[in-house]
Each structure stands twice: as C-alpha cells, then as structure tokens.
C-alpha cells in the first residue's frame, strides 16, 4: 500500500502541524502497539533527543502504547543508535526514537526500530498505517500497559560503546574537542571518551530544548574547527542532534567527512587482517573514496542516497561497512545501525594503534573536486528523456575521460534537479557543472 505518513526515516514534520501533534502521536503509539501486541506480549523502549517538543510527544506515545496494552521503558535523552542497542538488550518488541536528527528544534519526528535493532520493516510500517485508519479503542483496564523510567539506560550504552574500542588500547594523551550539537549525546558522548582516557573539551553540551543543531554539530563544523585550533587539540569530533552522524576535524583545522572516515576504518580493518568484502557508499560519495578502496583491493558499491538504502545493500551483500559523506557511518560488525560514537572510536583506535595523527591518517584518500548545483524547475519532471540534457551530460563525460562523474538527481522533497560533477580538475568541474545546470534550466523551466 502507499504509505501516507511514514517516509524513508519514520514520521517527520514541523511541531504542531500534522503529523507532529499530540493527537497523532497518541494514535500512532496505539496503532504501533496494536500491531506489536498482535505478535504476542509486547514491550517497547522509547528515547528522544533534547528538543522541547520531545516531552509532549513522549507523553502522547506512552499513553497510546499503554492503551494498546504495551509496556514502555522510557530512556530519556539518548542517541538514536542507543535506542537500537537497548531495544535488543532489553529484548523489547520495538524501539521508538523521538527525533528530527540534524533538523532545527521546531521540527521533530518519530521513528522505529524492530526487535533486532534495525529499522522497522516496510511491511510493519504499512500495518501500522492501516491501524491508524481505525477508531482508537482502549484495552480492558486490567490489560493496559505499564510505563517505567529506565534509570541506568545511559550507563548501559556507555559501556556498550566502550566495548567496541580495543581493550588493550587507551586514549590517554589525546586532547579531543567534542561537539554534541546540544543534542542527545551531550551526556553519554563526553563520558565515553573521558572513561577511555582522553582529555575532553566539551562544546555544545548544554541543551536548552531550542538550541539543538543551532550553529553547532556535524552540520556546522566551523565552531569546532576554531575550538580545535584554539585549544591546540589533537582532533575534534562533532555529532548531529541524535548522534547517528559524525564528522571530525584534524589538528590543522581541516574537516574530515564521512567518506574519509569510512576509508580510514576500512584501511584499519584490512591492516588487522579482517575480511570485509567491500564497502557501500551512495551516489554522492566522493570518487576519491572509490579510488582509495580500489587501491586496497576492496569492492565499492553505490546505493541510493539515504542510510536505509546503504543498510539494505550491506545486508544484501553480507558486508559490514558503509555510509554517507554526511557522516552517517555504519559498522555492522559492531552494531546494527549508524552510530556516531562507535564510528569515531574506530578511527581513534586506528590512530592509537598506528601512533598516527588524524591529519596523516586521512591522507590515504585524495578527495576529488566536486560541484553540485541545485536547479529549481517549474514542477517535478524526469530528465532522462530530454535530448539536450543527455547531450550535455555525454559531452561532459567525454571531457572527464573516465576520471570523473556526472550525476543528475531529482530531489525527493522539492522541484529541484541536483546537478553534480566530479573530477580531478577543479576548474573543469566547475565549468561543466555550470554548463549542465544551464542546459537543465533551459530544458525544464
């Protein structure tokens, strides 16, 4: 069935507008509870980020789940990957995260993990949508679900993260600036790196319900760059609001993105003799990543943009490592979903083991110049049938001579065609992108 509310990452929108209202959250909790309860006695863990609206949505979801006879463990502010882990640790039927990730405070969302700690199957989401069309009926008073606060949730997740870092290694001697985006990792993030021995300088670790992702975190690394240089730190680490994305900054103040992080983790896995098969990126992954992995003898496959598609391709191939340049990095040999803290720990382990600073470690991948232009069009249209556009792309690919890429991708949310050109010559890349964008605008305006 065509889904009305669930997108690629749960239900998301502006607070106060359908579907991010208390009425809808109540009904969604009830509908999800009915689907889960149909499979037997059900329990759910619920976590959130630091948005002010999280209180409202948490209470509404709790009431809806209870009305369906489902018991709830409330975890409080916790990273999205922590909810995935604790869903499995508590043998819960599902995990629910109240978060809009890297979006501003006035947005929020509700997303689900299955009992296996992975994203809920499409079929289950469709079943929940079907229940949303039914009238809400409360279970008998003696069958209502209970709710409890899980006071030790934070400590459980901290220990899990630390367990992914080699026991015989330590972060002693490293000075790290940690930017938690005033989000869900503001308590667990500093604890993990401090307990492993690092000196941690905290940045954006004082959430007030409204400042999540505001001029901080993985989407705004400038303040982290400045802090690293001022503190003469060894490196900086930035998470987004729900801590499933990470970018880093080296001691020179240069940003290290998800593509570079994945390459460093892959190289460390190979150096340790692990058989990782290959790596999954996306259509937007830098070609320098592909070339670096090829030099390591690793296969590289591109999935559609979005962590859901990366995960699907990894599972299909039986591989463990993949992600996006935005910093969503998946290490399936360590956990079940993208986890910013765990990804950062894998890079730190490589640094410590090889006694190599981040600036040197990242040199194994040379990023190719990349230019993307968003071309606004009158209405959503396909570009594949436009002869002028096809000619422009073919000519550009000819000039790149196999040492670059051209990608035209329609936006999934607005009438925009994204024109991306990548190659070794920055000036050529810029001119080709501009020429193709102009052709697209003339053909589709």
Active site residues: 101
Place of tokens 């809806």: 64
Q: Would you tell me the crossing angle of helices 153-163 and 340-354 to the nearest 10 degrees?
A: 40
Q: What are the phi and psi torsion angles at 307 (to 5°)? A: -65, -25
Continuous H helices in 74-214: 80-89, 122-132, 153-163, 188-195
Three-state secondary structure of 74-90: EEEECCHHHHHHHHHHC
**Strand 278-282 with 246-250, pairing:** unpaired
Taking every pair of C-alpha atoms in the chain, what is the biggest distance, in angstroms? 72
Q: In what order do the strands lie in the sheet with 299-303?
A: 299-303, 278-282, 321-323, 329-331
Q: Phi, psi (5° rounding) for residue 336?
A: -105, -5
**In contact, 280 and 266? CB cutoff 8 Å:** no
How far apart are alpha carbons 231 and 228 in whole angstroms?
5
The pair of structure tokens assigned to 287 is 């070609």
CA distance 79 to 187: 10
Contacts for 427 with CB less than 8 Å, ≥ 6 apart: none
Q: Beta-carbon neighbour count of residue 356 at 10 Å?
A: 14
Give me the DSSP letters along 313-365. HHHHHT--EEE-TTS-EEETTT-SSB-HHHHHHHHHHHHHHHT--HHHHGGG-
For 29-44, the three-class secondary structure string (H helix, E strand, C coil) is HHHHHHHHHCCCCCEE
Going by C-alpha positions, the residue among 403, 379, 436 that lies closest to residue 291 is 403
Return the half-sphere exposure (C-beta side, CA atoms, 13 A cut-off) of residue 138. 10
3-state SS, residue 301:
strand
Are residues 65 and 33 in contact, defined by beta-carbon separation less than 8 angstroms? Answer: yes
């Amino acid at each position: 069935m065509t889904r009305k509310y669930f997108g690629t990452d749960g239900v998301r929108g502006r607070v106060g507008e359908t579907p991010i209202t208390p009425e809808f959250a109540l009904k969604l909790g009830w509908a999800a509870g009915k689907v889960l309860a149909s499979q037997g006695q059900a329990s759910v863990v619920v976590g959130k980020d630091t948005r002010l609206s999280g209180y409202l949505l948490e209470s509404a979801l709790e009431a809806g789940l209870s009305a369906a006879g489902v018991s709830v463990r409330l975890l409080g502010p916790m990273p999205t990957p922590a909810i995935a882990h604790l869903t499995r640790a508590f043998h819960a039927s599902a995990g629910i995260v109240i978060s809009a990730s890297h979006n501003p405070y006035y947005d929020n969302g509700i997303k689900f993990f299955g009992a296996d700690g992975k994203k809920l199957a499409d079929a289950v989401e469709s079943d929940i949508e079907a229940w949303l069309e039914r009238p809400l009926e409360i279970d008998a008073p003696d069958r209502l679900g209970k709710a409890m606060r899980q006071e030790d949730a934070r400590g459980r997740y901290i220990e899990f993260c630390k367990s992914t870092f080699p026991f015989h290694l330590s972060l002693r001697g490293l000075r790290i600036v940690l930017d938690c985006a005033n989000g869900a990792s503001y308590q667990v993030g500093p604890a993990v790196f401090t307990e492993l021995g690092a000196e941690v300088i905290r940045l954006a670790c004082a959430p007030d319900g409204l400042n999540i992702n505001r001029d901080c975190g993985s989407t705004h690394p400038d303040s982290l760059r400045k802090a690293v240089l001022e503190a003469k730190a060894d490196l900086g680490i930035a998470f987004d609001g729900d801590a499933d994305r990470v970018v880093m900054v080296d001691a020179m103040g240069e940003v290290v993105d998800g593509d570079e992080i994945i390459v460093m983790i892959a190289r460390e896995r190979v150096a340790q003799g692990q058989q990782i098969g290959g790596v999954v990126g996306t259509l937007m992954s830098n070609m320098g990543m592909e070339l670096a992995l090829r030099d390591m003898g690793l296969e590289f496959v591109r999935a559609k943009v979005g962590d859901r598609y990366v995960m699907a391709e990894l599972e299909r191939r039986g591989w463990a490592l993949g992600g996006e340049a935005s910093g969503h990095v998946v290490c399936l040999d360590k956990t079940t979903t993208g986890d910013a803290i765990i990804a950062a720990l894998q890079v730190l382990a490589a640094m410590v083991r090889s006694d190599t600073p981040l600036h040197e470690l990242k040199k194994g991948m040379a990023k190719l110049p990349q230019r993307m232009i968003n071309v606004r069009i009158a209405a959503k249209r396909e570009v594949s049938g436009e002869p002028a556009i096809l000619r422009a792309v073919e000519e550009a690919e000819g000039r790149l001579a196999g040492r670059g890429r051209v990608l035209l991708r329609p936006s999934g949310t607005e009438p925009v065609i994204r024109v991306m050109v990548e190659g070794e010559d920055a000036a050529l890349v810029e001119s080709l992108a501009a020429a193709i964008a102009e052709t697209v605008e003339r053909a589709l305006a």
